[in-house]
């Protein structure tokens, strides 16, 4: 589906990764998207977000371990173990700036895209966006979006309560990338 969104409207600019995330989440009842702007380069941010076996578990509050089982182009299968015990076999797409993984009981969505200005990002009412000012004098930043949660099997629906975990994940990601660097 995400490939279809690339050039849907003639004369309109294509959706970026964060816009695609909003569209995908809009199709899943109960999904929330938490967004923020990190004062770091896209490269540094995606080194953490896109590293499923390393950085990903460091900022996702409920992930204990993720092991990539197979990769075929941008298609990936991974086994995720929760800090609380359950595990999930996730299938989906992982490419620079975009990750959408799901299992029978879990959905994980991550998006990132570079921005070219330093303005303070003001949260739009009701979007769940966190405003973080890009660093003074650096002229860059990266917009990120996170979604996900526990699925109702057989339905395009997430159980309520994921927004708090998504906000925590964004704070941990920010600390990991900005506070300590990607490694």
Q: 159 φ, ψ to 5°?
A: -70, 150
Give the mean pLDDT of 114-134.
48
pLDDT of residue 8: 52
When pLDDT is cut at 50, 70 and 90, the band that residue 44 belongs to is very high
Residue 24 lies in a domain: yes
11 Ramachandran zone, left/alpha/beta (phi>0; psi -120 to 50): left
Between 163 and 157, residue with greater pLDDT: 163
Tell me whether residue 42 is in a domain.
Answer: yes
Beta carbons of 7 and 19 less than 8 angstroms apart: no
Cβ(143)–Cβ(152) below 8 Å: no
Note whether residue 3 is domain-resident.
Answer: no
Mean pLDDT across 160-166: 80
Please say whether the beta carbons of 132 and 119 come within 8 A: no
- Among 102, 106, 50, CA closest to 77: 102
CA neighbor of 48 nearest in space, from 57, 37, 56, 38: 56
Summarize pLDDT for 23-35 with one digit per residue, the tens.
Answer: 998 888 888 899 9
pLDDT in tens, 84-96: 778 889 999 999 9
Share of the chain above pLDDT 70, in %: 75
In a domain, 113, yes or no: yes
Q: Is the pLDDT reported for residue 145 higher than 90? A: yes
Q: Report the CATH number that the domain containing residue 173 is assigned in CATH.
A: 3.30.530.20
Other beta carbons less than 10 A from residue 38's beta carbon: 26
Q: Give domain status of residue 47, yes or no.
A: yes
User: Could you list the residue range(s) of the whole structural domain that residue 115 is in?
Assistant: 13-179
How does pLDDT run across 47-66, given as a tens digit for each residue? 999 999 998 888 988 888 89
Is residue 10 classed as helix, strand or coil in its secondary structure? coil
Largest Cα separation within the chain, whole Å, is 49
| In a domain? residue 7 | no
Per-residue pLDDT reduced to its tens digit, 2-11: 444 454 556 6
Residue 5: inside a domain: no
Q: Is 85 domain-assigned?
A: yes
Q: How many domains does the chain have?
A: 1
- In angstroms, the CA 167 to CA 77 distance is 25
Structure-model confidence comparison of residues 115 and 83, the more confident one: 115
């Amino acid at each position: 589906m995400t490939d279809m969104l690339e050039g849907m409207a003639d004369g309109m600019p294509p959706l970026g990764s964060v816009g695609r995330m909003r569209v995908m989440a809009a199709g899943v009842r109960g999904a929330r998207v938490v967004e923020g702007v990190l004062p770091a380069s896209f490269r540094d941010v995606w080194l953490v977000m896109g590293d499923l076996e390393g950085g990903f578990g460091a900022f996702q509050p409920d992930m204990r371990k993720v092991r990539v089982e197979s990769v075929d182009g941008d298609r990936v299968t991974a086994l995720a173990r929760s800090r609380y015990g359950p595990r999930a076999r996730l299938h989906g797409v992982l490419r620079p700036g975009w990750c959408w993984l799901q299992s029978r009981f879990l959905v994980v969505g991550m998006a990132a895209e570079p921005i070219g200005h330093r303005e303070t990002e003001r949260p739009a009412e009701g979007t769940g966006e966190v405003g973080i000012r890009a660093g003074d004098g650096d002229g860059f930043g990266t917009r990120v979006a996170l979604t996900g949660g526990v699925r109702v099997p057989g339905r395009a629906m997430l159980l309520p309560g994921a927004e708090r975990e998504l906000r925590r994940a964004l704070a941990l990601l920010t600390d990991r990338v900005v506070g300590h660097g990607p490694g």
